[in-house]
Structure 1
């Protein structure tokens, strides 16, 4: 089944393809997006199923492991052969997702399936029942590591080829970032019939859970994200070290996993090793907490003066949206959606990518202007409430689904 003409008000059965179902508890931006969209779409009367490689959440919210015979059919029995073919072709197989789609469709046919652009799988899922809508969560041409081993580079090159082939044939494409949408279309030289910017949704916090200057430590700065090169952890640490020379009372709290900073030889430098390159003063003033629960991170946001995001690539990060949703100001690198979510000087500060000196200046500017900090937080909250409202985003998305299937 697919979205059909002449049924403008019929509730849809919508499939959302994701790395994991929300009940898994996995911290991932696409999983967060899927959870919020699921809730907003169901509140509007639509049925929503969430599909992953080996399990799914049905339209009633019940989780399912894909049936054993489906797993065999999708490749467990022939896994070795598929892996051998993948190694030769450098292409990652969409087979498990196709098998999940087959099983969900057998329960209740999908009208539309929204999926990320990764691996060029949209092309493989076309013609299998539902209308396909592709969403740019992180096209590999911009999201890949700058430093890759020969093996990683070969796989990346194939992935980019597959993404381009898929984008050349799809009918509908959305992106939370207007800048990323334009850059992607220009790079691949494609023009889908429908290509629109729709932001990632997030509900704002109730008044009792909002950030306020009075409850925050003016010297505590927060960085939420992986300790790696793509997330710009090295830039944030260097900016903090610079700012610390002028404001020795500052403290940086870092939260997230530690895959390490990529090195030219393919190695990784983890936090414990990287911090040894810093001044003794900086080492003493950085608290690296590793992975923390969503509840712990929410409390850290309330206790921190502002959040710092130094990523070399971001599309439309939930780490920033979550700060906006509680009315907390942020300093962000000017990577695609960051510079659209934050209005420089009004809801936070935007600095050039990789510029630790500019970021340090921003840290000092916000630290020394508490009045401006409070005003930025309030404006960020109001912007989030209006622009990222889940009900509004869901309605805009469903309207696009219907056009895509017309």
Structure 2
């Protein structure tokens, strides 16, 4: 088969984005299984031999006139034009595409109009991923986005999701019953030397994610502050861009200011904020930290958790969509209710209280990753489903 996968950026960009990570791993797995896999974004193509074509915007007259009109009269904030048909057409002209796989965002998948089967993969439906607090203007845009995403799902040749609960909840929310759907997890290969409790620093937690509400950075720090009262040498390293926490008054507070306002000074000194760092540095940090703390309010499939499972690092995670559906609490990970600061703090204290058990749980998490998230397994499931789509 020839499968074309849309991504916000090409895999070679190294962007810290879950869809970029997914397409990189899937492209390699599909190629290894004997299929052609091409990844494209709005500006170019990455072939499965590693070669890249940068095409830029559509230069045809109709597209140029459309862009000129937008520059003159502007574009409505509730319109999201598809600007990459020319890229798909170029791929298809060289090697006919059997299936296009795209995320649901902005309903692009339902508006290609190229006669090629399109499967919508749920990477983060806006109905669940939008901010909890939205000013009226943003709420209007969100409502339009949710409707156009609904239309894309209705018109899709098939729908897949890395979360069974997310698939059911999305279809239920929109009240639609497509004939072809599949729960197929995201792939994650095992990597590197397995994490060991001996190599980890004493009681040092690791948070990987944006400092914002969606990633639950505020929940992490409040849970850390509670746990730190019971574990004298507890510290935490925060890794990720500082987007700020939006308050009820729509004030955006950055990490340092938020800590000063909400965390006791004695405990605040044990918080280290590194900001956005590269993937290799993250892997090194995993080796020397005892526990990852992930308190997201929403996830479809957390690659930061999957990457920790892949090296056997124990994780305390929120009961969101995705990996929390397959992790068994205190067997191959730790799971706490979304937003429950006390439960997260208790889980951290319990995890650190028994290093031998922690090591067993980390190893069991790696075993879970090997069994369920093997790229070979996921690629085979994907191809089997796509054959039903392409005929």
TM-score, structure 2 as length reference:
0.96
> Equivalent of 2:236, from 252, 263, 266?
252
Q: Which residue of 1 aligns with 2:109?
A: 122
> Which of residues 336, 340, 356 is equivalent to 2:321?
336
Tell me the SS of whatever aligns to 1:308: strand
Unaligned runs of 5+ in 1: 1-11
Residue by residue, what CA displacement relative to the aligned partner does 1:160-203 show, whole Å, maximum 9, x if unpaired?
00111111122211000011011001001111111111000011
2:222 paired with 1:243: no
Count of aligned positions: 390
Displacement of 1:72 in angstroms is: 5.1
Q: Which runs of 4+ in 1 moved over 6 A?
A: 83-86
Equivalent in the alignment of 1:5: none
Q: Which moved more, 1:227-236 or 1:99-108?
A: 99-108
Superposed, 1:255-274 pairs within 5 Å as 255-274=239-258
Q: Residue 27 of structure 2 contacts residue 48 of structure 2 at CA under 8 Å; is this kept in 1? A: no
Deviations 1:266-288 (A, max 9, x none): 33111011010211122100000
Q: Which whole-Å CA distance do the structure 2 matches of 1:73 and 1:345 have between them?
A: 60
Match of 1:3 in 2: none
- Which residue does 2:155 correspond to in 1? 169
Establish whether residue 43 from structure 1 lines up as the match of residue 29 from structure 2: no
- Counterpart of 1:81? 69
Measured at CA, do residues 39 and 83 of structure 1 come closer, stay the same or move farther in structure 2, by a change above 3 Å?
Answer: farther
- The question of whether the paired residues in 1 share the 8 Å contact of 2:202 and 2:233 is answered with no
The answer to whether structure 1 residue 295 and structure 2 residue 284 are counterparts is no
Q: Helix, strand or coil: the match of 2:45?
A: strand
Quote the Cα distance in structure 2 between the aligned partners of 1:265 and 1:87: 29
The CA deviation at 1:401 is: 0.6
Aligned to 2:90: 103
Secondary structure, counterpart of 1:288 in structure 2: strand
Which residue number corresponds to residue 400 of structure 1?
A: 385
Q: How large is the RMSD of aligned CA atoms in angstroms?
A: 1.7
For 2:346, which of 334, 357, 361 is the aligned residue? 361
Match of 1:140 in 2: 126
* Structure 1 residues 301 and 18: CA distance shift in structure 2, 3 A: same
Aligned to 1:168, the other structure's residue is in SS state: helix
Q: What is the TM-score normalised by the length of structure 1? A: 0.92
C-alpha displacement at 1:93, in angstroms?
1.4
Instruction: Pick one of 362, 367, 371 that aligns with 1:377.
Output: 362
Contact 2:78 2:141 in 1 (8 A): yes
- Write the deviation string for residues 107-131 of structure 1: whole angstroms up to 9, x where unpaired: 3221111100111111112x41432
What does residue 214 of structure 1 align with?
Answer: 198
CA distance in 2, matches of 1:55, 1:152: 30
Aligned to 1:350: 335
In 2, the alpha carbon distance for the partners of 1:100 and 1:131 equals: 16
1:200 aligned residue? 186
What are the Cα deviations for residues 182-226 of structure 1, in whole angstroms up to 9, with x where unaligned?
1001001111111111000011125xx110111111311000000
Deviation of 1:337 after TM superposition, in Å, equals: 1.3
Q: Distance in 2 between matches of 1:317 and 1:224?
A: 10
C-alpha contact 1:242 1:360 (8 A) present in aligned 2: yes
